[in-house]
Chains A and B, each alone.
Chain A
Amino acid sequence: MTREIRTAGVVVTSAARRAAKERLGNAAVFVLLSIISVATVLPFLWTISSALKGPGQVFDYPPRWIPSPAHWENFATAWNRVPFGRFLLNSTFVACSVVFLRLLTSSLAAYAFARMRFPGRDAMFLLYLGTLMIPGQVTIIPRFILVRYLHWLDTYTAMILPGAFSAFGTFLLRQFFLTLPYELEDAARIDGCSRLGVYWHIILPLSRPALVALGIFTFEGEWNAFLWPLIVANNPMKMPVQVGLAFFRGMYSTEWEIMLAGTLIALVPTLVVFAAGQRYFTKGIALSGLGGR
């Protein structure tokens, strides 16, 4: 009897000690994470601060964190020096078109690969997989020559069309489609639903997580894309915002407050999209990043 109690007492004190230790550890981690997080976000805060400074104030030493007065007109100046509105519209249009087309073409192909039988299917799918290895640098030169030959330079077509087909997207969606139950599809087929009907009314609605993940990553990738639009868009009116920003840097590299204001204009939409789709981002990384492991 006494022995049991003593044992229980030992368990209790060691559990209490462990809990106390864990609280202490968590407090240390909290402090550490606070420092790291502030250090990570600091460049953004410093950019905001610098973008609001008056002419020459960015060169004050030691640096001043709170600019007074705040020069909000820097944003208007940056906005008017290059067509930032147009850049943002171009990026939005190109990114949204690519997302729509890529989701459509990839999901149609993925449906055929996952759910239909046809000769050469597996060989074709292997070919798709094989090309995933090839880096964009190998295809960028022939793509450029093709687009130039078709007189598509400085057009949205050149920016959108090559991105509209994705072997990776097809692969990702196929893997997801394979996990969906067959019973629903069979039932619908028996009731006389066409293949297209099954795809549209059953497969697509059930695949929302995969479609959203692919859509968000495609949007982010297209919005931040640089090399391809850099070589196909030379006219400022057709430039997406990243290329426009590089163009802006080339023109105004001395007035830092104006340049950083322009950079912030270009950064904000990405952060807004991130804030809106935050929970999908992390889920999407798990889904697309580790799906094939």
Chain B
Amino acid sequence: MRGGQQRRRLLRQREQFEAWLFLAPNLAGFFVFTVFAVVFSLWISLHEWDLFNPPTFVGVANFAKLLTRDANLRRALWNTVCFALGIVPLGTAVALALALLVNRAVKGVTLFRTALYIPSVSSTIAIGIVWVWLLDPQFGLVNWFLRTIGVAHPPDWLSSTLWAKPALILMDVWKSAGYYMVIFLAGLQGIPEQLYEAALIDGATPWRKFWSITLPLLSPTIFFVVVMRIIGVFNMFELPYIMTLGGPAGSTETMVFYIYKNAFEWFQMGYAAAIAWLLFLIIFAVTYVQFRYQRRWVTYD
């Protein structure tokens, strides 16, 4: 009796020991590069540190500065919000429309899906360069096309403070439409066929079917895509870096770009870390609000 208990305890201890061994490699990296990094980041944000001189403690001065005295930060935040307002609704609608199209049993549908997906596997840096060339005001294909269809003075795109943002928005929508199309496609294929058959018997129009069946049943996927998209936009960096370097006149400088400049061009590590925390709080708040209010429009069956 006693021996059995002891044996069981030994076995349990052995299992615990083995579990820690399995966990150890990942846990070590997780603690150094994530947990420690997060704590260290908070510590850095309370200091002034250029990496060449020892850090000096400044308390919440960095946060006070970014909240009250930094016009560049306000501009970066405003730009990021503009990108979100353009990319999230437009990108989601385009991806959903494409998914509805390629969800039909059309000839060559696999080929279409592949073609639409290609931009999203290509690197942002490479296609950013391609688009700089496509959007060239004089020699670019985009303006050539616009002139052909009768636009006498097409925009200067990347060198215009008015058009640089829309240009990047369109490019981003083009690039990621295929990826979100596949997510929507998976969602569409999860909708039971019987519902459409029932609607058919009731004589529902395609439009009616879309509003009453497809959209409500797809709402969890739409919710997921919108959340992912917003997080993605708040992390936007590569497109402005390769296409405009944040210009013209800072009109495409995003939050992450501004963090990058502060940290790795001006070596203001403390201030950059503080902005990173502000960005995190914004993303967290937006995501929280979305989860909070999803019940109003997302239906899980």
Contacts and interface: CB of A to CB of B under 8 A. Distances in A.
A112 B25 CA distance: 12
Given A26-B107, A137-B279, A249-B129, 10 more contacts: A33-B112, A36-B116, A46-B134, A104-B25, A108-B25, A138-B277, A141-B259, A141-B263, A226-B123, A231-B264
B30 A62 contact: no
A161 B29 CA distance: 8
B210 interface: no
A141 B272 contact: yes
B29 A105 contact: yes
Interface of B: 12, 15-16, 18-20, 22-23, 25-30, 32-38, 40-41, 44, 51, 98, 101-102, 104-109, 111-119, 121-127, 129-131, 133-134, 138-139, 141, 144, 174, 177-179, 182-183, 185-187, 220-221, 224, 228, 231, 234-235, 237-238, 241-242, 256, 259-260, 263-264, 269, 272-273, 276-277, 279-280, 283-284, 287
A282 B181 CA distance: 10
A224 interface: yes
A137 B44 contact: no
12 contacts: A33-B112, A62-B144, A108-B23, A111-B22, A135-B234, A135-B276, A137-B235, A145-B40, A165-B30, A199-B22, A245-B129, A266-B126
Contacts of B109: 33
A205 interface: no
Contact of A40 (B16, B134, B174, B179): B174
A290 interface: yes
**The 6 nearest A-B residue pairs measured at CB:** A165-B29, A109-B26, A112-B22, A142-B40, A37-B115, A116-B19
B187 to A, nearest CB: 7
Interface stretch (A1-9, A125-133, A179-187): A125-133
Nearest to B260: A227
Interface stretch (A67-75, A207-215, A270-278): A270-278
Contacts of A29: 101, 104, 106
Nearest to B34: A131
Contact of B101 (A32, A104, A140): A32
Given A141-B276, A227-B238, A30 B264 contact: no
A160 B127 CA distance: 25
Given A30-B106, A162-B33, A290-B221, A43 B126 contact: no
Interface string A249-275: 100000010011001001100110110
A182 to B, nearest CB: 15
A264 B277 CA distance: 37
Contacts of A270: 121-123, 126
A167 interface: yes
A30 B107 CA distance: 7
Given A164-B29, A167-B34, A245-B125, A26 B256 contact: no
A135 B16 contact: no
A16 B18 CA distance: 66
B18 A30 contact: no
A108 B280 contact: no
A46 B264 CA distance: 35
Contact of B121 (A58, A117, A162, A271): A271
A271 B101 contact: no
Nearest to A260: B133
A293 interface: yes
Given A224-B123, A259-B129, A289-B183, A109 B23 contact: yes
B26 A245 contact: no
A79 interface: no
A147 to B, nearest CB: 10
Contacts of B276: 135, 137-138, 140-141
A61 B136 CA distance: 13
